[in-house]
Amino acid sequence: MALDEGNQSSVTIFILLGFSEYPHLQAPLFLMFLTIYTVTLVGNLGIIAVVRINPKLHTPMYFFLSHLSFLDICYSSVFTPKLLEILVMEDRSISFKACMVQFFFVCAFVITEMFMLAVMAYDRFVAVCNPLLYTVAMSRKLCALLVAGTYVWGGICSLTLTYSLLELSFCGPNIIHHFGCEYSAILSLSCSDPSFSQRMCLVISTFNEACSLLIILASYIFIVVTIVKMPSTGGLQKAFSTCASHLTTIIIFHGVILLLYCVPNSKSSWLLVKVATVFFTVMIPMLNPLIYSLRNKDVKDTARKLIHTKLLSHSM
């Protein structure tokens, strides 16, 4: 264990156990996660490209969707490369500074995505409940401010939580029972009083989860009321189709977060926490572009044209 006597945090190297307790699964897990990560990058970059190419998709809904894809790429790329590395390399170490940096960025991107989904719910509320005023209400300036606000707030919350961890002392052991620098896994290694950090985490997590879910719930209550009042089935189907993809993403995203909140921090639950974190950081970023593209005719048509154009250019 590396020590730095001049620093409050004496541990300078952490060891990530990952899934080392299942040595026979290392190669299959590596191939599976590599495939998922590749699909995540291709799918989300594809969404961003499609939104930029098709002028029909230059609307607030797709502006927010492209930022959601960007966030999926970001927080998947913070965790997944290190996960792939420790599955095939004997050296499973990560420096203390790198661990804190990883935690900061994962935390920032996850909180930003949480509020990006809330912003998208508000966008769907305006689109369904005030369709005639939609372009006026969701102006470019407002959309830019809403997106900027989610990034700034995610950064502030993450900086606060990272600072609370940096105030702790880590004097050993230095083994993290996880594949990444997850909050509870880091906290369990502290040899100083973690109560301040725990209080900060509780306040920030509860506030963010409650606020984002309240915005989403309020938006969808108004959407449901508006849909019920619609006289034609055609209008009802159109309204439902604009919300179905977003609602599916919200249920998966917040469902996994609430599961992680409910799991007790004990040795018996370490595997469940790791599996849930894998689903959250590896699977969800892959699922989001599939959910949005499979249910969206404009996205599918633009993607087909883009692929067809690329194939023609290579064949010539």
Tens of pLDDT, residue by residue over 171-208, are 878 888 888 898 888 888 888 888 999 999 999 999 99
pLDDT-derived band at 278 (thresholds 50, 70, 90) equals confident
Domain 21-303: give its CATH superfamily: Rhodopsin 7-helix transmembrane proteins (1.20.1070.10)
Q: How far apart are CA 156 and CA 172, in angstroms?
A: 29
Give Cα separations from 103 to 107, 174, 186, 274 (angstroms).
6, 16, 9, 15
In the prediction, which pLDDT does 1 show? 44
Mean pLDDT taken over the chain = 84
In the prediction, which pLDDT does 109 show? 95
In the prediction, which pLDDT does 5 show? 41
Q: Which residues contact 248 (CB under 8 A, 6 or more apart)?
A: 291
In the prediction, which pLDDT does 120 show? 92
The pLDDT of 16-44, averaged and rounded, is 90
Q: How far apart are CA 247 and CA 268, in angstroms?
A: 33
- Residue with tokens 């502006």, as numbered in its chain: 63
Which region among 28-37, 100-109, 222-231, 240-249 has the lowest average model confidence (pLDDT)? 240-249
Strands (DSSP E) contained in the chain are: 13-16, 93-95, 175-176
Tell me the range of 176-185, 211-220, 285-294 where mean pLDDT is highest: 211-220
In the prediction, which pLDDT does 67 show? 95
The pLDDT of 21-43, averaged and rounded, is 91
What's the predicted TM-score (pTM) here? 0.86
Residue 209 is which amino acid? E
pLDDT cut 70: percent of the chain above it: 85
pLDDT over 80 at 46, yes or no? yes
Helix (H, G, I), strand (E, B) or coil at 15: strand
The pLDDT of 303-316, averaged and rounded, is 63
In the prediction, which pLDDT does 135 show? 87
In the prediction, which pLDDT does 288 show? 83
Beta carbons within 10 angstroms of residue 54's beta carbon? 17
| Domain range summary for the chain, segments of one domain joined by + | 21-303
Residue 61 is which amino acid? M
